[in-house]
Amino acid sequence: MTAPTIFGICAALLVGIGLFGVIISPHPLRKLLAFNLIGSGVFMLLGAVARRGAAAGMGGDPVPQALLITGIVVAFSATALAVALLLRLFNETGSVTLAADARAHPDAGDT
């Protein structure tokens, strides 16, 4: 098996693992980690596609590789914003549970 195939399948499994984590993790920080796993799976798939596009003496297609650099930096800035939101929520309420909204509006589920 070639490297793009191996890591392409690895990327697909990473997205699956990340999606599973987003669904089952009750803690928002863990959801954030899982969401980053999905992101890195998508990045790895794009990297495998870039490697398949090797041509003209280049080891991979440089256009997706440049997009990956942009993507990884933007993913970090979104993560930093999410962590800041989480810490502010914790400072305000002393907890970070996402279930609090359901308790605050008990009749929301009836309609």
Partner 1 sequence: MIAALNIGVAALVLALALFTIVARESFAACVGFLAYGLLLTLVWVQLQGLDVALIEGAVGGGLTGVLVIGAAVRLRSTQAAADAARLGMPARMLAVLLSGGVAAAMAACVLALPDPAPTLAPQVSASMAATGVANPVTAVLLAFRAMDTLLEAIVLVLALIGVWSLAPDRVWGGRPALGYDVDPDGILAYVARILPPIGIVAGIYIFWAGADHPGGKFQGATILAAMWLLAMRAGLTDAPPVDRKWLRLALVAGPAAFFAIGLAGTVTAGAFLAYPDGYAKVLILAIEWALLPSLALTLFLLMAGAPQRMSAP
Q: Between residue 44 and residue 103, which ones bind partner 1 under the rule CB under 8 A?
A: 44-45, 47-63, 65-70, 72-81, 83-88, 90-91, 94-97, 99
Measured from the CB atom, the residue of 2 and 108 that comes closer to partner 1 is: 2
Hey, what are 107's tokens? 């009749």
CA torsion through residues 17, 18, 21, 22, sign = negative
Report, in Å, the least distance between residue 85 CB and partner 1.
Answer: 6
Report, in Å, the least distance between residue 107 CB and partner 1.
Answer: 21
Burial track 3-16 (b if 16+ CB lie within 10 A, e otherwise): ebeebbeebeebbe
Measured from the CB atom, the residue of 30 and 108 that comes closer to partner 1 is: 30
108 contributes a contact to partner 1 by CB under 8 A? no
In 3D space, the residue among 73, 45, 43, 49 whose CA is nearest the CA of residue 61 turns out to be 49
Q: What is the C-alpha radius of gyration for the chain, rounded to an integer number of angstroms?
A: 19
Which residues 16-45 are close enough to bind partner 1 by CB under 8 A?
16-21, 23-27, 29-30, 32-34, 36-37, 40, 43-45
